[in-house]
Amino acid sequence: MKLSFRSLSLAASLIAFASPSIGAQSGTAAHPSVSVSSDPFVWLEQVSSPRSMAWVNAENAKTVAVLEKDPHYAALYADAVKLAEARDRIPSPSIIGGQIYNFWQDAEHTHGVWRRTTLASYRSASPAWTTVLDLDALSRTEKANWFWKGSTCAEPAERHCMVQLSDGGEDAVTVREIDLPSGSFVSGGFVLPHGKQRVAWEDPNTLLVAREWAPGEITKSGYPYIVKRIKRGQPLSAATEVFRGTANDGGYGVSPFTLDDGDGNHAVFVARPLSTFEAEQFILTRNGFEKLALPLKSSVSAMVAGRVIISLDTAWTPAGGAAFKAGSVVSVPLATMLASPAKFAPTLVAAPGPRESISRMATTKNALIVAQLDNVRGRAYTYTPAGAHGWTRSQLKFPDNLTIGVVDADAHSNTAFLDVTGFLTPSSVWLVDAQSGALSSVKSLPPKFDASNDVVEQFEATSKDGTRVPYFVVHRRGMKLDGNNPTILYAYGGFQVSETPNYSPNIGKLWLEHGGVWVLANIRGGGEFGPAWHEAGLKTHRQVVYDDFAAVAQDLVKRGITSTRRLGIQGGSNGGLLMGVEFTQHPEMWTAVDIQVPLLDMLRYEQIAAGSSWVGEYGSVSVPAERKFLEYLSPYNNIHANVKYPEPLIWTTTKDDRVGPQHARKFAAKLASMNIPYLFYEVIEGGHGSGASLKERAHTTALEMTYFTRKLMQ
């Protein structure tokens, strides 16, 4: 479950991880421990009912009348649109079949185009793109509202792909087979109708699909638990079951997936989550799917040179083997794993130190590329197989104090793309030869704001229990420490998501250039320092996350960087819950609170959208001790009359079938019932984000920045 708004729009971190989210529930089914009848606003949980939408439209009109009529709005919106639709944005590369693919939206392509070019052309100043799929044209032809949700291509040729098309940006998708050379849907090819589903290619003529095969065949959080095999030419009704979890499984539902390497090795897996962070892993052998002898807090991540790469989120001592600490990466020969799924001896690949964590991995033909953090500073390494089981590490040399990420890597060559970014360093894409270690900058974003007078500093605050909590401050050089600097403090604090320096044109142009200060806090609950940093804030221990955030705010005031009068806070999804808690626990500390696509009713969150899949993070009302803590924590249940609260901006999206708009709606309605001032806005489309099109996202950004400008700069 993750979501990041560092650029004032959805970035890399989305709630429910990278898995397609399942379950747009109405949210009205009562939990045995939670009384629906006592909730006067439960009717707002009916997402698309006429009564709910009438309320949404009325609230939107009120908020738009305030923010769009503000004298700052027009200029902020114009800048946000210009930044969103700029043609000099970096086209993010994806390597498929030896060519470079990219999904692109601009003013002329509001739904977007999936396109390709050659590597040589991509490296040029003006790549020659060939359109593979035009979603604007497809939407017009089919009288639909298609938006892109990704693709899965069949190895080894990578000629045919299953593309995921979303109606208006929701997580539920229609999946169709496309032929890449012709750019046309395959006649008589695979088609999976609208639903929440996961797809893997067992071979070029066979799919493994997890979905709701019959009405009700989903977990209580709305995720699939049955995997079936579909052969080319078969209808869905002829699919044969190959794996089954149970309706009581926790987490995110079963997911079939495959790993392939450049040597022709191919392996098929199923991950079966039992809870939010625990999953069983199965591998397909000649006997069917067999359970792997892996700890529940681990994941099968990649494969290179016939070695399966496994990430460990817990300490592990295999039977008769060496001990590995949490956060490590290990490898097992595929042949060994297939021959003996229940017992094998892994080899250590990487073991981060106490202030380090691994953030992303990808494989080329001959190497594993690892991006990691060292005290929230980016590092990148290649790990090359050496001898029968060993590995050789080599560091890729990049400047310090930046974030380094893996964009994509090609298992059929040694080509990989990395991105490099910082608060004041425009993002760039680098081409890496993973075998030689050679680096070359391929694309660099032109500066989008004047950073010539800005600086970045890293400080530490001391939380209530003595824990050191790092945070970054971006500000004008020579800033007076008089407490009068308008400041936005952002954090996420959950699901082992690491928040790192990131170049945001929106923050730079719409905030820093206007004299604002931007702060990113690396509070517990995240993954900046590995699994332990995350686990410190799980369930009934979660108050430390909110104490960390408050400690950073107090440190900012103590240093004279800002004051409560000039301090605003922002967070989305799980970070929206963070905002709600800080709003109710410390209303005196903030002047502005931007609550984005949030969870807020923690006594009913398990009954709303995919909420029950996050019990491993938050706990459950069915457990007395956890219910007691959730009741103490829940922002929706801790609003009180006669308390002076800052006027918040609460926004969500109608088509969010992940967290759901219910939380934000009910929170605003309860504030209204107590005559507590607030602003509420609901984007009608866009899924778990700030809008489906570039203009919609720019509009949401402009509303947010107008709100902060009104509250903190005037």
Residues with a catalytic annotation lie at 573, 688
In whole angstroms, give the CA distance from residue 229 to residue 239. Answer: 5
Contact criterion met (CB below 8 Å) for 590 and 567: yes
Contact criterion met (CB below 8 Å) for 175 and 199: yes
Contact criterion met (CB below 8 Å) for 665 and 683: no
Residues in the chain: 714
Residue 438 has a CB neighbour count (10 Å cut-off) of 11
Alpha helices in 414-538 (DSSP H): 505-510, 531-535
Take residue 561 and report the two structure tokens written for it: 């960087």
CA distances from residue 551 to 460, 471, 594 in whole angstroms, order as listed: 10, 11, 19
In whole angstroms, give the CA distance from residue 70 to residue 627. Answer: 42
Concatenate the DSSP letters of all residues of 274-323 into one string: SSSS-EEEEEEETTEEEE----SSEEEEEEETTEEEEEESS-B--TTS--
Indicate if the alpha-carbon torsion angle 266, 114, 171, 238 is positive or negative: negative
Concatenate the DSSP letters of all residues of 403-440 into one string: EEEEEEE-TTSSEEEEEEE-SSS--EEEEEETTT--EE
Take residue 342 and report the two structure tokens written for it: 């229940």
Contact criterion met (CB below 8 Å) for 228 and 209: yes
Contact criterion met (CB below 8 Å) for 623 and 603: no
For residue 180, how many C-alpha atoms fall within 13 Å in the half-sphere facing its CB? 23
Long-range contacts of 452-460 (CB under 8 A, 24+ apart): 453/477, 453/478, 454/423, 454/424, 454/512, 455/424, 456/401, 456/422, 456/423, 456/424, 456/501, 458/376, 459/555, 459/559
- The residues, any chain, with a CB within 8 Å of residue 205's CB and separated by 6 or more, are 231, 232
**Local structure of 473: helix, strand or coil:** strand
Q: Please tell me whether the peptide bond between 156 and the residue prior to it is cis, using omega within 30 degrees of 0.
A: yes
Q: Measure the CA angle with vertex 464, ends 462 and 469; round to 5°.
A: 35
**Local structure of 557: helix, strand or coil:** helix
Q: Whose structure tokens read 């708004």?
A: 5
In whole angstroms, give the CA distance from residue 73 to residue 60. Answer: 16
CA-nearest of 145, 192, 146, 164 to 21 is 164
CA-nearest of 651, 580, 665 to 46 is 665
